Amino acid sequence: MIKHLTLLLLSILLLGACQKEENSFYVGVPKDLRYVGIGEYYCGEAFTTDQPSVFTGGEEVIFTLLDVKSDDYEGEDLMENFRIQSRTGIITIRDFNDLSVGRYTIDVEVKNSMGATSFTDILDFTADQIAPQDIIYMPNIYSFYGDDTEIETNRPHVKGGGPYSFRLTEHTDIFSIDEELGRVKLINNFPIEDDQIEVFEIGIEVANTLGELVKDAAVTIEIIGKNVGQLFYNAISFLGTPTSYGLQNAVHHTTYGVVEKEIDGEAYITELNDEDNGPAYTGGLWRRAWAGVAFNFENEDGFVNEKIVKGYWSWNQESRGDLISDVIDLSYADEEGYLDITGFWRYTGGAQNLNQHLGVMICKQSEYNEDAPETSNWTLLANDISEDLMPFPSGTTTINERLLREEGNVQVAIPSNFLKEEVRVALRADFFNPELGGLARRFYIYQMQVRGK
């Protein structure tokens, strides 16, 4: 009996060794993609998978999200709720997504130089319902002209799981809300002067079968006069975490490889890699990545509240990080368009803006490469706006909002050939050539908007 057990154990070990040897010497198209399953999941929550395992033939591979399927989804664009990292295969479900209660399956393609393999239903999970936890509108600020009675906000994103019912808690004499979809609009024409802006912060109640939630200032609506540029985009972020940058309607992208840039009037060339020049989460903050950071702000009434800004800190290493907007529809902007940016910088650091730049770029959506954004047909609108931002005030940890708007605001015009188009805009943080001085500055963006007429 002992002899038979010993032979059986040896057989299992030999089989395992053969399989390991077969896989280590495998050459061919990718095979055997495997993800750790998604356990308990509730509608609207953010989720990030672990890095999957896959046999690659010893080569680098590219992961592509082919499809997400569900018979239960009732939202507007299922694929927009998911992202995949092309180099690692890590899949992210976006925070405040619009997934409905039900089952979902995901298809992924993995490609190397030998070919591509499609893995159907490689990951499946069920989204369950809980009482509403939070509600946001994306964008969270809208601008209506006084006679825009047919224009509505987008549907809100709710953590909880529908069907939902919505109710306004204030300004019901000016605005109405679709009780099923949550879209808000003007009831009647609103009288306003040509150069005037009137701002309303609107509270919303949302409920499902398991509970209800009331959120003050859930959405902000500007009513503007005809001479004021209409808001087409407003960047939104939440606090960054070890698994998320906190960006809601924008993405961070890091450039790797050989980069050339003019620094102090001379061409400078460097090579960036993931280990030394890529994102890192340390001490509760992201380094070398655009991410949500909390600061205290004092408003005009003297009240202090914590708000989330979008920050970039290169942490004394060279890097290039782009904060890229979602698609912006400028179809109705045929006269003018501009970026309206408000922010501040902290810590002096060596050569200041000589080798630490904050650039502004724009690209037509038709010329944008989502798999490799750095190869898109970007137009550089401004090489460095950092000196137009406000220095962080000394001797305090609280920022005065009025002073910030006065001293930290810059507007960058959008060329006419980008009007009446779908576009993306981006802020580019460049930190290069430490021989000129330390790379210690930090950029913080309080407001990044696109307006036009």
Domains 25-127 and 134-226 share a fold: yes
Please list the pLDDT of the chain residue by residue as tens digits (453 residues).
444 444 444 444 444 444 444 445 677 899 999 999 999 999 999 999 999 999 988 889 999 999 999 999 998 899 999 999 998 999 999 889 999 999 999 999 999 999 999 999 999 999 999 999 999 998 889 999 999 999 999 999 999 999 999 999 999 999 999 999 999 999 999 999 999 999 999 999 999 999 999 999 999 999 999 888 899 999 999 999 998 999 989 999 999 999 999 998 999 999 999 999 999 999 999 999 999 999 999 988 899 999 999 999 999 999 999 999 999 999 989 999 999 999 999 986 555 778 999 999 999 999 999 989 999 999 999 999 999 999 998 888 899 999 999 999 999 999 999 999 999 999 999 999 999 988 999 999 999 999 999
Please return the burial class of 284, using the count of CB atoms within 10 Å of its CB with bins 0-12, 13-18 and 19+: exposed
Identify which of 148, 159, 136, 180 has the alpha carbon closest to the alpha carbon of residue 46. 159
Spatial distance between the Cα atoms of 85 and 372, rounded to a whole number of angstroms: 11
- Fold classification of 134-226 (topology level): Immunoglobulin-like (2.60.40)
Question: What per-residue confidence (pLDDT) applies to 17?
Answer: 43
Distances (CA, A) of 325 to 139, 375, 396, 431: 12, 16, 32, 21
Identify which of 40, 74, 245, 243 has the alpha carbon closest to the alpha carbon of residue 158. 74
Please return the burial class of 443, using the count of CB atoms within 10 Å of its CB with bins 0-12, 13-18 and 19+: buried
Q: Residue 83, Cβ neighbours under 10 Å: how many?
A: 16
Spatial distance between the Cα atoms of 41 and 447, rounded to a whole number of angstroms: 32
**Phi, then psi, of 299 in degrees rounded to 5:** -85, -175
Question: What per-residue confidence (pLDDT) applies to 350?
Answer: 54
pTM above 0.75, yes or no: yes
- Fold classification of 233-452 (topology level): Jelly Rolls (2.60.120)
Ordered by start, the domain boundaries in the chain are: 25-127, 134-226, 233-452
Identify which of 39, 49, 143, 140 has the alpha carbon closest to the alpha carbon of residue 91. 49
Assess contact for 23 and 15: CB atoms under 8 A: no
Assess contact for 336 and 453: CB atoms under 8 A: yes
How do 62-69 and 319-325 pair as beta strands?
A: unpaired
Angle, CA 96 vertex, CA 319 and CA 235 arms, to 5°: 45
Question: Letter for the amino acid at 28?
Answer: G
- The CATH-assigned architecture of domain 25-127 is Sandwich (2.60)
